[in-house]
């Protein structure tokens, strides 16, 4: 964890490099300096990716399928591969031992004696490239394990030294945690530097939004269906208030909205082949997002168990993911274990004794 006790004192507009320099000076040590250098490299790659995305079709067919699939079976588009190469090239210049990516079949060795290792989803939400909807990059920084590549990543998510995501939208944001809160930086198009825009982000406690892909309703397990049914019944239902539903199909976009407006995000396991254990990847998607969310006062689970306590056994291991306001995440866990929250009749047509007489 990098000490960032005085980050709130830094003025808006402070560059990321100055922010990291101050954080490093306060904490000291080779490991802390390595984290700062690595975050700097990742930010440089993000700025390069942002510039490419900003050119849209002028940069070529960025959203065109390559005919290839990644190690997890997802179709790759051109920008997936370009973003991966940009991030990898940047990290080759940083003190990084091992590189784990959604777009790589296995962990790559860069500089095995280096103190930190990095897991990345280089381009989250690539299905949105051609429709000009926000997409992003997600990253996680771990201390390199003495036992090598696998041990550096197959560990509890709470052991991360830093995590962040970049969202490429109307402007480019970097949301970063060094283990002592979460801060927001914006890419300044004039200088090319990321500058501090907001300090000490906290996920709003009160919100009436949930994000889920409702087209999969028929495949969900009963606890998830019941939770969503209760939300959809609105003010007349057991929750006693109306809710809005959102779904962008871009994890970073969903996360960014929850940081801004609160609510809860659900990507549950379901009955479809290939979705039995969830769909998002634990190492380079769920774990870094969970780290950020919990640093901002929220919670993240697989529906019942904390994401940050889960230990991966495979690089591309999948997991269900529920995150957002802590109370809402706990409530969803309750639907899995509390018999009083289980409906006895088909959804949308029954009353339950816990809330109604």
Element (H, E) at 230: helix 222-232
Check whether residue 229 and residue 193 sit in a common domain: no
- Residue burial 41-58, b: 16+ Cβ < 10 Å; e: rest: bbbbbbbbbbebbeeeee
pLDDT digits (tens, 9 = 90+) for 89-127: 999 999 999 999 999 999 999 999 999 999 999 999 988
Q: Assess if residue 144 is contained within a domain.
A: yes
User: pTM of the prediction?
Assistant: 0.92
Domain of 15 in residue numbering reads as: 7-198
Check whether residue 223 and residue 263 sit in a common domain: yes
Check whether residue 77 and residue 148 sit in a common domain: yes
Q: In the numeric block, which tokens belong to residue 293?
A: 């969310």
- Please report the pLDDT score of residue 78 as a whole number: 87
Tens place of pLDDT for every residue, the chain, 357 residues? Answer: 554 445 557 999 999 999 999 999 888 789 999 999 999 999 999 999 999 999 988 888 776 776 566 666 666 888 999 999 999 999 999 999 999 999 999 999 999 999 999 999 999 998 888 888 999 999 999 999 999 999 999 999 999 999 999 999 999 999 999 999 999 999 999 999 999 999 999 999 988 999 999 999 999 999 999 999 999 999 999 999 999 999 999 999 999 999 999 999 999 999 999 999 999 999 999 999 999 999 999 999 999 999 999 999 999 999 999 999 999 999 999 999 886 776 654 444 444 433 332
Q: Assess if residue 157 is contained within a domain.
A: yes
Check whether residue 192 and residue 247 sit in a common domain: no
Q: Assess if residue 318 is contained within a domain.
A: yes
What is the C-alpha separation between 274 and 332, in angstroms, rounded?
A: 23
Q: Assess if residue 138 is contained within a domain.
A: yes
Check whether residue 191 and residue 286 sit in a common domain: no
CATH number at residue 26: 3.30.540.10
Phi, psi of 139 (to 5 degrees): -145, 160
Among 334, 269, 271, CA closest to 299: 334
Check whether residue 120 and residue 259 sit in a common domain: no
Check whether residue 42 and residue 176 sit in a common domain: yes
What is the C-alpha separation between 23 and 176, in angstroms, rounded?
A: 13
């Amino acid at each position: 964890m990098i000490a960032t006790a005085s980050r709130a004192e830094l003025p808006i507009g402070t560059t990321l490099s100055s922010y990291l320099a101050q954080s490093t000076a306060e904490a000291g040590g080779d490991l802390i300096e390595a984290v700062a250098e690595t975050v700097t490299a990742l930010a440089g790659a993000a700025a390069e990716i942002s510039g490419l995305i900003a050119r849209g079709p002028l940069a070529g067919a960025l959203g065109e399928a390559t005919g290839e699939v990644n190690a997890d079976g997802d179709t790759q588009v051109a920008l997936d591969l370009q973003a991966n190469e940009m991030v990898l090239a940047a990290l080759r210049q940083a003190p990084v031992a091992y590189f784990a990516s959604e777009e790589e079949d296995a962990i790559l060795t860069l500089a095995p004696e280096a103190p930190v290792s990095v897991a990345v989803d280089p381009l989250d939400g690539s299905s949105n490239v051609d429709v000009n909807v926000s997409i992003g990059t997600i990253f996680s920084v771990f201390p390199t394990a003495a036992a090598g590549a696998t041990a550096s990543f197959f560990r509890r998510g709470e052991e991360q030294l830093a995590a962040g995501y970049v969202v490429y939208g109307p402007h480019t944001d970097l949301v970063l945690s060094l283990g002592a809160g979460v801060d927001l930086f914006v890419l300044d198009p004039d200088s090319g530097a990321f500058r501090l825009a907001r300090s000490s982000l906290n996920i709003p406690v009160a919100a009436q939004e949930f994000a889920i892909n409702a087209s999969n309703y028929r495949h969900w397990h009963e606890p998830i269906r019941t939770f969503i049914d209760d939300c959809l019944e609105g003010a007349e239902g057991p929750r006693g208030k109306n809710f809005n539903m959102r779904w962008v199909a871009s994890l970073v976009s969903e996360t960014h909205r929850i940081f801004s407006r609160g609510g809860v995000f659900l990507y549950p396991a379901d009955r479809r082949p290939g979705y039995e254990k969830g769909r998002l990847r634990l190492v380079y998607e769920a774990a870094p997002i969970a780290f950020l969310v919990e640093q901002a006062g929220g919670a993240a689970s697989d529906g019942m168990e904390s994401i940050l306590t889960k230990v991966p056994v495979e690089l591309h291991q999948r997991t269900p993911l529920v995150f957002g306001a802590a109370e809402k995440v706990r409530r969803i866990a309750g639907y899995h274990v509390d018999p009083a929250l289980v409906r006895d009749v088909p959804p949308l047509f029954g009353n339950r004794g816990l809330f109604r007489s």
